[in-house]
């Protein structure tokens, strides 16, 4: 057994997997942030980007907002993806180990990876759904004007966050 798993001086394996998954998710999301920003601006058909194409959109952002303009909104995306990626990676590795230990005759290969990845993906989605819900609500807010919440949305019980989780799974 590994020293980290026995409680030695190093971090436990699951914690290291959480950190590795979170860092990988944050770096990956930041690497594609400029493309994501242009995609969103083109999808929303903002007047200044209409018909300018990909290169023209990059040029417009750079001229009007500077290089940091490509990363506007990236903080919220990273704040959402880091917990998701961390949990997904750690859960995948744990589920894969549990399947191998629980079913020693199972062949290690793509089927094992598919099963472990599917269960891990479901775990990550259900666990980070409240963050996704908050991110979506923040995305629809305009400026500093807060969207008024209905009486049902003012319910702060944890059950409310998972009210539409069934729709996510489908």
Instruction: Enumerate residues 6+ apart whose C-beta is below 8 A from 19.
Output: 11, 86
Q: What is the pLDDT of residues 136-161, one digit of tens each?
A: 666 555 333 333 444 445 555 555 44
Residue 96: pLDDT over 90: yes
Q: Is-contact 127 169, C-beta < 8 A? A: no
CB 63 within 8 A of CB 51: no
Residue 169 pLDDT class (50, 70, 90 cuts):
very low
Q: What is the DSSP letter of 10?
A: S
Binned at pLDDT 50, 70 and 90, residue 93 comes out as very high
Domain count, the chain: 1
Contacts of 116 (CB under 8 A, 6+ apart): 92, 95, 96, 99
Q: Which domain holds residue 80?
A: 3-169
pTM of the model: 0.67
CA 113, 114, 115, 117 dihedral sign is positive
Residue 54 has pLDDT above 50, yes or no: yes
Mean pLDDT of the chain: 78
Higher local confidence (pLDDT), 167 or 80:
80
CA distance 114 to 96: 10
Question: Token pair of 32, please?
Answer: 């594609």
Highest mean pLDDT among 32-36, 51-55, 95-99: 95-99
Over residues 64-77, the pLDDT tens digits come to 888 888 888 888 88
């Amino acid at each position: 057994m590994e020293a980290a798993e026995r409680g030695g001086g190093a971090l436990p394996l699951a914690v290291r997997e959480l950190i590795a998954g979170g860092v990988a998710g944050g770096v990956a999301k930041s690497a594609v942030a400029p493309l994501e920003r242009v995609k969103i601006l083109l999808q929303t058909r903002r007047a200044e980007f209409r018909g300018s194409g990909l290169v023209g959109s990059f040029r417009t952002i750079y001229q009007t907002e500077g290089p940091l303009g490509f990363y506007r909104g990236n903080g919220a995306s990273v704040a959402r993806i880091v917990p998701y990626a961390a949990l997904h990676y750690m859960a995948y590795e744990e589920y894969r180990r549990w399947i191998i230990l629980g079913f020693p005759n199972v062949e290690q290969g793509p089927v094992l990876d598919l099963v472990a990845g599917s269960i891990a993906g479901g775990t990550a989605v259900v666990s980070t759904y409240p963050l996704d819900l908050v991110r979506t609500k923040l995305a629809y807010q305009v400026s500093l004007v807060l969207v008024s919440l209905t009486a049902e949305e003012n319910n702060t019980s944890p059950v409310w966050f998972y009210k539409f989780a069934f729709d996510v799974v489908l």
